[in-house]
Structure 1
Amino acid sequence: MNARLLPYLLILPVTLFLCVFFLYPFVLVSKLAFTDGAGFTLDNFRDVVTYWKFPISLQNTMLLALAVVPVQLALALLMATMVNRMKTGRDMVLYIWTIPLGISDLAAGIIWLAIFEQSGFLNSMMHGLGIIDRPVNFLSYQNPVIVFVAIALAEIWRATAIMLVILVAGIGLIPKEYYEAAEVFGASPWQRFLRVTLPLLRPSLQTALILRVVLAFEVFAVVAALGGTLFPVLMGEIYAYQFDLQDSGAAAALALIVLGISIAFTLVILRALRVPKGATI
């Protein structure tokens, strides 16, 4: 076998997978979004962006991402640093912290629904402490802030482990000699974190943030379980267009809008956390 052909043969399965399960569906979705019975059209995009729910769902999605992702990043950095400094029990602690990764989005939403609903844990605890006399309906249109907080907490609990796993692996690749040299020169733990860990963790931070931001724009099941129609988001509107309104063209158009937003934020993250040329660990 020609040695020059070997790399292409090795990536052939992945290329075929991407073509069948990404490029081909993407072409079909684009065709639905940009065409109707008469041919090329932008009516689907016009209908989507002029619908009264679009700015509300866009705002809710953006606010949720803005509230959740920074908190998750801070928690993941703290937890990853703690795990990498542990001498014993490291694997057990990491396993416990990553348990939410094995729970589906909908199941996570139902777990937190059991906390915030009228017969849930929060009402029972507050009643037991004498704070309330009767159950409170936290997840109602009268308490939009609590609905938002409940969704944000569920997302933070469910998806922080995604970033944690990536950052733990990234910190583990940083040579210990860098920390030892910084300690010799009198750097405090905080200074070592700022001057050694963060700069050398940029590639892992890029990956973790891109993955988490993209998933934040795709949030749906947790919102459906806790907020329902009280907290519309972009993915929920795609579902409504496709299955409730039976409008595949509008659903495809909104899906492409979400894809465009995700790509834009990905480029921003890559630009903000770009690794200087020639930089190595």
Structure 2
Amino acid sequence: MASRLRSPWILLLPSIVLMTALFGWPLVQGVFTAFRDGQGFTIANWQRLFDDPYFFASLRNTLLLIVIVVPIQLVLAIAMALLLQARPKFAGGHFYLWCLPLAISELAAGLVWLSIFGNRGYLNSLLVSLGLSHDGVQWLNYQNTGTMLLAVVLAEIWRATALVFVIVVAGVQMIPRDYDEAAQVFGAKFWQRLRHVTLPMLGPSLQVALILRTILALQAFAVAQALTGRDFPLLVGETYQWYSNLQNPGVASAVSLVVLAISLGTAVFYLRTVRQPKGAR
């Protein structure tokens, strides 16, 4: 009996050691760095962080990015997955075309959208050629916070919707067709089947997609850096600024702990609110 109880832990031991080495120890080090200086325990790093005007701007911009981008990407991914389920012509081509942005790095995606929204970019060239603007629009000017947010949002939607799409497609394929066919027999319309059959059955996939996408949105950096520099600060960008440019790992660790707290909070929220119906297990 004792050997049976020990055997699962023996099998899990390599994974536990690996997770501890890759995540546990760096987390402990980050907490110590955020609350210590050369003389011992301190909250000076946090005071300096909260006195920095870029911190609250980066926190606001990051939360705005999550609130705007994640729901839009989820809706688009569900719509594309349902369209793919209808098996249109060249369905495989649609799938690979929609997944193409996954092969493009964040920095490259930012540079692509910089060529669109730049002062001499394609969008301004189009506006001038159509006579809608004389000199173009300063989309990425530091005074135009709204247009900077628009550019970053569009770049993130274009770049990362494919990730949510792949997860949702896998979830849709796991739903037995019997449920949808039974609902059709009882006269349920498309929107009724979507609301009462498809979305509840997609609960586990939506959980995974929302958690991963929110965490990745919290880590957004290269796209905004390529488009706006520090004129549109984000939390991970501030971590980079404090660690690399300002040479202050204590404050950088404090910012990273804020990102971790938001990540854990949103993950718990999704796990509690997005659930699979008990009878579907």
TM-score over 0.5 (shorter chain): yes
2:271 is the alignment partner of 1:279:
no
- Paired amino acid for 2:156: E
Alignment of 1:134-173 (within 5 A): 134-173=135-174
Alignment of 1:1-281 (within 5 A): 7-275=8-276, 278-281=278-281
Q: 2:20, 2:61 → 1: CA distance?
A: 33
Equivalent pair of 2:61/2:233 in contact (CA under 8 Å): yes
Q: Secondary structure at the match of 2:220?
A: coil
- Paired amino acid for 2:58: S
Q: 2:249, 2:266 → 1: CA distance?
A: 26
- Paired amino acid for 1:117: G
Larger CA deviation: 169-178 vs 8-17: 8-17
Q: Secondary structure at the match of 2:191?
A: helix
Offset from partner CA, 1:54-100 (integer Å, 9 cap, x none): 21111111111111111111111111111111154222211110111
Q: Please list every run of 5 or more consecutive structure 1 residues that lacks an aligned counterpart in the other structure.
A: none
Alpha-carbon shift at residue 10 of structure 1 (Å): 4.0
From the superposition, tell whether residues 229 and 87 of structure 1 become closer, same or farther in structure 2 (CA, over 3 Å). closer
Equivalent pair of 2:33/2:249 in contact (CA under 8 Å): yes
Q: 2:117, 2:183 → 1: CA distance?
A: 47
Q: 1:175, 1:126 → 2: CA distance?
A: 49
Q: 1:15, 1:147 → 2: CA distance?
A: 43
Q: Secondary structure at the match of 1:80?
A: helix
Q: Secondary structure at the match of 1:98?
A: helix
- Paired amino acid for 1:140: N
The count of aligned residue pairs is 279
- Paired amino acid for 1:144: T
Q: 1:100, 1:153 → 2: CA distance?
A: 13
Q: 2:100, 2:6 → 1: CA distance?
A: 42
Alpha-carbon shift at residue 144 of structure 1 (Å): 1.9
Q: 1:175, 1:23 → 2: CA distance?
A: 39
TM-score normalised according to structure 2 size: 0.93
- Paired amino acid for 2:86: R
Q: 2:86, 2:192 → 1: CA distance?
A: 16
Offset from partner CA, 1:193-222 (integer Å, 9 cap, x none): 111001111111111011111111111111
Alpha-carbon shift at residue 132 of structure 1 (Å): 2.4
Equivalent pair of 2:242/2:248 in contact (CA under 8 Å): yes
Q: 1:7, 1:261 → 2: CA distance?
A: 32
Larger CA deviation: 21-30 vs 191-200: 21-30
Q: Percent identity between the aligned chains? A: 45
Q: Secondary structure at the match of 2:183?
A: helix
Q: Secondary structure at the match of 1:279?
A: helix
Q: 1:77, 1:225 → 2: CA distance?
A: 29
Alpha-carbon shift at residue 189 of structure 1 (Å): 1.2
Q: 1:58, 1:99 → 2: CA distance?
A: 30
Q: 2:80, 2:18 → 1: CA distance?
A: 35
Q: Please list every run of 5 or more consecutive structure 2 residues that lacks an aligned counterpart in the other structure.
A: none
Alpha-carbon shift at residue 174 of structure 1 (Å): 0.4
What value does the CA root-mean-square deviation take over the aligned residues?
1.7
From the superposition, tell whether residues 6 and 87 of structure 1 become closer, same or farther in structure 2 (CA, over 3 Å). farther
Alpha-carbon shift at residue 19 of structure 1 (Å): 1.7
Q: 2:227, 2:88 → 1: CA distance?
A: 39
Q: 2:102, 2:11 → 1: CA distance?
A: 30
Alpha-carbon shift at residue 17 of structure 1 (Å): 2.4
